[in-house]
A and B are shown apart, each in its own frame.
Chain A
Amino acid sequence: MKFPYSEKVLEHFRHPRNVGKIENPDGKAVEGSPACGDMVAVYIKVDPETRRITDVKFESYGCASNIATGSIITELAKGKTIDEAKKVTWKQASEALGGLPPIKVHCSVLAVEGLRSAIQNYEERQGLVKDREPTTVEVVRKRLKKVINPVSGLNLVHTNLVKNIEVKDGIVRVVIDLPANHQFASAIKEEIADKIEHLWDVKKLEVEFTE
């Protein structure tokens, strides 16, 4: 039989490692949403002395590459310090899986983001983050780098689709260089809302399209 994925991907897809929730986790995060397609949740336990990840679990609502990447990042993260684990990249995860099809970047990058966000969540809970960063144009731009343009599998900033960002009095206005009737316009809008709307000092988000 022939499959569109490497043996390693199929192995992790069939028998995903470290699946499930951790009761009272030290850090947790959910990346993606049912609207955009795939979704992954990551839970971590961290040793307060050594700041090493002692346990990590994941859950996935997604395709084979999403499940396999979720599985492999738990293996890559376990035993690492949070600073080491933060540096695990999509490329490392992909290599550890024997390669992923380029079209599947979008589905698989979520798991890597999930691990980073879970660590960030841990740092915030532990007060390791000094103070809450005010939302600036740069913060918004950074968040938009997590929104994937489904056409290319690359993020909005990278593909020059972010035409303008304004932040004033808690109102964030983002202009996307796509027609409003573009096939992915509504999905992109939902994803932007997911990434920006919940920031602590954002009162309102306005997403506009150019046509």
Chain B
Amino acid sequence: MLDKLVYLDNAATTRLDERVLEAMKPYFFDVYAVATSEFGYSAGIEARETLDKVREILANALGASHEEFIFTSGSTESSNIALKGVALALGEKKGKHFIVSKIEDFPVLHSAKALERQGFRVTYLDVDSDGFVDLGQLGESITDETILVSIQHANQEIGTIQDIETIGRICREKGVLFHTDATHTFTRVPLDVRKVPVDLITVSANTIHGPSSIGGLYIRKGTPVAKWIDGGFQEFDLRAGIENIPGAVGFAKAVELVTLEENERLQAMRDHLIDRVLAEIPSTTLNGHRWKRIPQNANITFHLVEGESITLHLDMRGFAVSTGSACFSRSLEASHVIRGIGGDHERAHGSVRFTFGRYNTLQDVDAVVETVAEVVRELRNISPLGKDYEHEENYK
């Protein structure tokens, strides 16, 4: 067994970069006042100035101005504020219809379901076999009642990048707000609000080697979002709660540390894994588009084997990955993403997601490819679906 874990589940969360921790430290021990105390004592002014400075960095990373960016506790909260905030602001005034894609991550999908229980109507857009939303269906689904379209920038499981520029244009033409969950693309795939007509963007620090439990929401100036986390007047009176200044500082540092070279390095690992697995392991299918995918994601179905068995065997050999198999999830439900792209339960069952980060190397990729090949071979050897599989009715 390896003594070092090769962590390939960077879409779930990432290891914190030491430089991020160093940047955060003073705000735990020296400047720990709340920013709203700026009129009480000088430490508050320093907190306020720090928060303003890092807010500027985050907003700039999206091409936005600082008053268009609020800090939240992470992606989940950001998407909740976007959907439910717009519902509260426009539900009575304009209409009660939302449009989301079928393969959104749970913060958007389950916010939509929660709104349905409150009397809103939701259209779940189909996606094609690569995971792209049907743009024709999007256009046709928008009505006078529609208040928000929420379609992710890239998918959390299969990595497919949507054409959000076109989606944004369709929404703009029809006068409908557009939210995108950019949790898995922020700083990895260019997104500039001066070019893309998008009104709300969800981002998070934990996917880019920043701290957990800090995220943000871009809100284009003038976008009607009602406040529903009540308390003080923080975050332009849109989200109450004391500011997480160490978190915000860490988030900004994490953004500054991502470089173009790093994204190219991640993409090289992705392509190396996909090319080797598809060439060397029989009966494998790539999930998601081959090229229009985020640089850090590869998702492959190993047919005739079950994903939890693969992940457990890999874990015992020192590799951390994840799977869309029903057996892996607490809900015992197979991945809604793989089923959304037209895959059956079998395809979801054997799907494994490899996601790369700053601390992975090409050697890690070679090691995991060789190990997964061995594991899949062993599991296929004990599978009744192999070679001359007979179905139950044949000998009943």
Listed in ascending order, the chain A residues whose CB lies under 8 Å from chain B are 1, 3, 5, 10, 13-14, 16, 19-20, 28-30, 34-41, 59-64, 66-67, 103-104, 106-107, 121, 150-151, 153, 183-184, 187, 194, 198, 200
A37 & B334 in contact (Cβ 8 Å cutoff):
yes
Contact A3 B309 (CB under 8 A): no
Residue of B nearest to A149 (CB): B332
- List residues of chain A with CB within 8 A of the CB of B392: 29-30, 194, 198
Q: Which residues of B contact A61 (CB under 8 A)?
A: 304-306, 383-385
Task: Indicate which residue in A1, A20, A107, A194 contacts B327 across the interface (CB closer than 8 Å).
Answer: A107
Asked if B181 is an interface residue, CB under 8 A from chain A, the answer is no
Q: Which of B62-70, B172-180, B341-349 contacts A (4 or more CB under 8 A)?
A: B341-349
A19: which B residues are within 8 A, CB to CB?
Answer: 381-382
Contact with A along B87-125 (1 / 0, CB 8 A): 000000000000000000000000000000000000000
In Å, the complex CA distance between A183 and B336 comes to 10
CB–CB A30/B327 < 8 A: no
Contacts A13-B312, A30-B391, A35-B346 aside, 11 further interface pairs with beta carbons under 8 A come to A19-B381, A30-B384, A30-B390, A34-B345, A40-B384, A60-B382, A61-B304, A62-B327, A106-B332, A121-B395, A198-B392
* Residue from A3, A5, A16, A38 within 8 A of B306 (CB atoms): A38
Any A CB within 8 A of the CB of B308? yes
Residue B58 lies at the interface, judged by CB distance under 8 Å to chain A: no
What is the size, in residues, of chain B's interface with A at 8 Å between Cβ atoms? 34
The contact of B312 among A3, A29, A30, A59, by CB within 8 Å, is A3
Q: Which residues of A contact B349 (CB under 8 A)?
A: 34, 37
Least Cβ distance of B63 to chain A in Å? 39
* A61 CA to B305 CA, complexed, in Å: 6
Residues of A within 8 A of B312 (CB): 3, 5, 13, 63-64
In the complex the two chains form, what is the Cα distance from A153 to B330 in whole Å?
A: 12
The answer to whether B326 and A60 touch across the interface, beta carbons within 8 angstroms, is no
In the complex, whether B30 has a CB less than 8 A from a CB of chain A is no
- Shortest A199–chain B CB gap in Å is 8
B325 contacts A63, C-beta separation under 8 Å = yes
What are 12 A-B contacts defined by CB distance under 8 Å? A3-B315, A14-B313, A34-B385, A35-B345, A38-B306, A59-B384, A61-B384, A62-B309, A63-B309, A63-B327, A184-B333, A194-B392
B316 within 8 A of A: yes
Report how far A183 CA is from B382 CA in the complex, Å.
Answer: 30
